[in-house]
Chain A
Amino acid sequence: MKKTNDVILQTVTKIITFMIILFSIDLFFSGHYTPGGGFIGGLMTAAALLLILLAYDIKTLQVILHVDFKLMTATGLLIAILTGTGALLFNEPFLKHAFDYINLPILGETSLHTAVLFDIGVYLVVIGVTMTIIQTIGESE
């Protein structure tokens, strides 16, 4: 491909990617109470990475983020399944979630959910899948 001059895109990307990723993480954690969650958070993160990929190229992305996305997908699935299996240890049905309210030093009273663990699995799978797809298609050129 012809080397194109996208200084503006690249500069904007540098700034905006972090904002998108931060936003996606916020979306992810707030998902239990307001719009958001694993799917949207994961997609948003993937979109940010995609932006890097479009503005630079695949090699840059690999330098920045040295992650095997296939492994990420598998890890996500494993986390999701293990969260489900965890319930079996407490003699509850598969995938039954639990939650509790705990006082944390800085955050004050916080509710903790095992559902979030499951959602982390979803989050990782979505990023992993999206990036695997895009990366493999991109590499095949």
Chain B
Amino acid sequence: MSLLHLAILLPFLSAVLIPFLFKGFRNIHTGWFVLLVPLVLFIYFIQYLPLTSDGNTVTKTFEWIPSLGIDFTAHVDGLGLLFALLITGIGSLVVLYSIYYLAKEKEALHNFYVYLLMFMGAMLGVVLSDNLIVLYMFWEFTSISSFLLIGYWYDRERSRYGAQKSMLITVFGGLSMLGGIVLLYIMGGTFSIQELINMSESLITDPLFVPALLLILLGAFTKSAQFPFHIWLPDAMEAPTPVSAYLHSATMVKAGIYLVARMSPVFAESGLWLWLVAGFGIITLFWGSFNAVKQTDLKAILAYSTISQLGLIMSLLGLGAAALHYDQLDDNIYMIATIAAVFHLINHATFKGSLFMMVGIVDHETGTRDIRKLGGLVNLMPITFTIAIIGSFSMAGLPPFNGFLSKEMFLTGMLSVFELDLFNLSTWGVLFPVLAWIASVFTFVYSIKLVFKTFLGKPQFDKLPKKPHEAPIGMLISPIILVSLVIIFGFFPNLLSNSMIKPAVEAILPSLVDSGQTVDVNIYFWHGFTPELFMTIGIIAVGALLYATLAKWQGIYNRIPERFTLNGMYDAGLSLSEKGSLRLSNAYMTGFMRTYLVYIFSFFVAILLSTLLIKDGFAIDTTDLAPIEFYEVILAIILVASAVTVIFAKSRITSLIAVGAAGYTVALFFVLFRAPDLALTQLVIETVSVSLFLLCFYHFPRISRNIERIGFKLGNAVISVLVGLTITLISISSFSSRSFESISQYHIDNVYDLAAGGNMVNVILVDFRGFDTLFEIAVLAIAAMGIYAMIRYRAAGGKEE
């Protein structure tokens, strides 16, 4: 356990304190305490920056389950550190923002911050774990905390729906990923990512390689909301806005991107990887931006925009894999795609985070997020307007903001497809730049729409639930910091290039570094009159035109019937599976006790008898049998007779006497079998039991015979006979076959030496197998408590009599 491990676990540990802080200091907003955690961690992780920018990595191992090869190995390299800084940096800003967003009087802050800290720790665990199983564990933790945060206002129906949807989709992906991890383990014999990367060349020929690749990608795509799994993200917007800004735009949804980047060295040699990652990315990019335009809810626009931007990064990562196939080039132009991916990842976190916070402010101050009711806010909320315009222009890819730079690099990356001569990219690959350009146009349209419809246009304040005014300064600090970063990264992108982007790219493409190539990150504003520049000009021109004529062509969105949308299919599938499962379980869960018992007994007979037959398990050995005395036969007959009497007895007293007789006969058998302790116990127990029955008879109906039809009786008889037969066969086989010596000899030999006792049975009970006895008396006590509760507390209202 090193300091690094403690850093990862710190959010979890501090989450324990939150409820007490919430209860103890009602006057202080709990967020102020929480804020310390990401701040401290951010400062801590900053210290690693010089280390990773020199190309070094830090690995600390803490043994967890060494027998299964599962160690909590923390591995800090360029990629992991970049994410760790994003998580803690954006985390600090979001917590600060939430202090003003969530009122301490009304909200269940202790729940909120516990979930948030849980998420933060889980996310740090995901990006800093080298062991895939540990990574998976943290991965699912992020899904769970996301579920809890989306459902934070659990009394709203939409929140519950969104939470369930995100849970189902991301956990489904997580489980497939677990399958992929297990396949990787089967292939490589290790869960360590670094070790898998070292053996990637041998893995690619393995027949399990493709299934593992598909399963891992499924996990990444569901988490990062790639088409067609993107449908959960818009519904996740039911979460409080700080959560949307943090989980559903800056960090958690990027876990899928992280996974793709992290696993690139393992899988990227394969053409399938390139096609899938780049293909799904570009489709998502297009589909997200296309759908964002039609949204009327500000957060929905941002949600679809996030989907589309995630697709953009994903497609860049996919194309970046092409660089691996050209490791002999001096100036590797394909590397630009990966560089652009990492750069855009940072940029997206800054501008999308600020936009979400801006929307939160608008929502908070006006009471609505509906774009149709908003307008003309610019005079009332000038600072918010400034934030919005910087954020959305950066998103649209306009200079001089950082979005412009990464958008240019993105277009360069897409254009480089033309020069690729790999995996048939020269044919269908043409679609990449085309789709990229179309998607960029839509991105431009919705970015403009986001700002103009909200802040410009005709004021219609009478439609708003609240009288709007500028937000308090505390709420504005975080988005102002983020938009300042948008501008700073826009003007001085090379602040990042060597400190963060280069080490991250080196971590994604380690084989290039090994082959002696240098990752050269130089980001410029002006490249001359390149195709990219003309494309950008085209985007602005066409985008402006489309925005102006929006009302005319908006109708195409209504062309797809609700039933055929992905959401429609998800809802239909969910209700179908719910109804189907209900019908299926109702078909065999009849509610009759007897049916269940019949199932149990039938399976019992079927499984045991067939095993006996198939495995040829039946054995009979008559060489070593105990002799039978005459009186023993008599006892056996009495026992059988009394058991049969119970079946045919008409009155309950007769049954009871017969049962008692059986019990006392069993006690006599214990005497014959040289078991004095058992005999004594059985005698007393039988006496107590019989008196218990007599006491209880008072409460039972006097005549307890229910008419049973003959068919019913016959069916029961068949099952009973089969059960009896099975038991007899098993009993005979069990004493006839002996695979190994009884362990009892140990007890017999050591009873005096080790326990100083003479009665072996008692010594076994209290000493050798004391655990059994301890649990047994615990069970007894529970039974007694159950009986006490059943009698004392009546069902009605649970009141004591």
Q: Contact residues of A with B, CB < 8 Å?
A: 27, 31-40, 43-44, 46-47, 50, 54, 70, 73-74, 76-77, 80-81, 84, 94-95, 97, 99, 111, 113, 115, 118-119, 121-122, 125-126, 128-130, 132-134, 136-141
B759 touches A140 (CB 8 A): no
Scan residues 745-801 of chain B and give those whose CB is less than 8 A from a CB of chain A.
755-759, 761-763, 765-767, 770-771, 773-774, 777-778, 780-781, 783-785, 787-788, 791-792
B637 nearest CB across to chain A (Å) = 28
A70 nearest CB across to chain B (Å) = 7
A133 touches B785 (CB 8 A): no
Does B676 belong to the interface (CB within 8 Å)? yes
Take A77-B777, A99-B755, A115-B755 as given contacts and tell me if A136 and B791 are in contact as well, using a CB distance cutoff of 8 Å.
Answer: yes
Which residue of chain B lies nearest to A94 when distances are taken between CB atoms in the complex?
B771
B767 touches A125 (CB 8 A): no
Q: Which of B198-206, B312-320, B406-414, B681-689 contacts A (4 or more CB under 8 A)?
A: B681-689
Contacts of A133 in B (CB 8 A): 692, 783-784, 787
Does B714 belong to the interface (CB within 8 Å)? no
Q: From the candidates A32, A73, A122, name the one contacting B758 in the complex (CB within 8 A).
A: A32
A95 touches B774 (CB 8 A): yes
B781 touches A97 (CB 8 A): no
Contacts of A140 in B (CB 8 A): 699, 791
B759 touches A31 (CB 8 A): yes
Q: From the candidates B758, B761, B781, name the one contacting A129 in the complex (CB within 8 A).
A: B781
Given A35-B680, A118-B770, 10 more pairs with CB closer than 8 A: A37-B761, A40-B681, A50-B688, A113-B755, A118-B773, A119-B762, A122-B773, A126-B780, A130-B688, A137-B695
- State the CA gap A125–B687 with chains docked (Å): 19
Q: Contact residues of B with A, CB < 8 Å?
A: 676-677, 680-681, 684-685, 687-688, 691-692, 695-696, 698-699, 755-759, 761-763, 765-767, 770-771, 773-774, 777-778, 780-781, 783-785, 787-788, 791-792
B680 touches A125 (CB 8 A): no
A43 touches B688 (CB 8 A): yes
Contacts of A99 in B (CB 8 A): 755-756
B695 touches A32 (CB 8 A): no
Contacts of A138 in B (CB 8 A): 695
**Prevailing SS type, chain A contact patch:** helix
Take A43-B681, A74-B781, A128-B784 as given contacts and tell me if A37 and B759 are in contact as well, using a CB distance cutoff of 8 Å.
Answer: yes
- State the CA gap A44–B755 with chains docked (Å): 25
Inter-chain CB contacts under 8 Å: number: 139
A47 touches B688 (CB 8 A): yes
Contacts of B757 in A (CB 8 A): 32-33, 113, 115
Q: Can you list 9 A-B pairs with a CB-CB distance of less than 8 A? A: A37-B761, A70-B788, A95-B770, A115-B766, A118-B770, A119-B762, A122-B765, A122-B777, A128-B784
Take A33-B757, A129-B781 as given contacts and tell me if A39 and B688 are in contact as well, using a CB distance cutoff of 8 Å.
Answer: no
A77 touches B781 (CB 8 A): yes
- State the CA gap A95–B759 with chains docked (Å): 19
Q: From the candidates A35, A73, A119, name the one contacting B784 in the complex (CB within 8 A).
A: A73
Contacts of A37 in B (CB 8 A): 677, 759, 761-762, 765-766
Take A50-B691, A80-B777 as given contacts and tell me if A36 and B762 are in contact as well, using a CB distance cutoff of 8 Å.
Answer: yes
B684 touches A43 (CB 8 A): yes
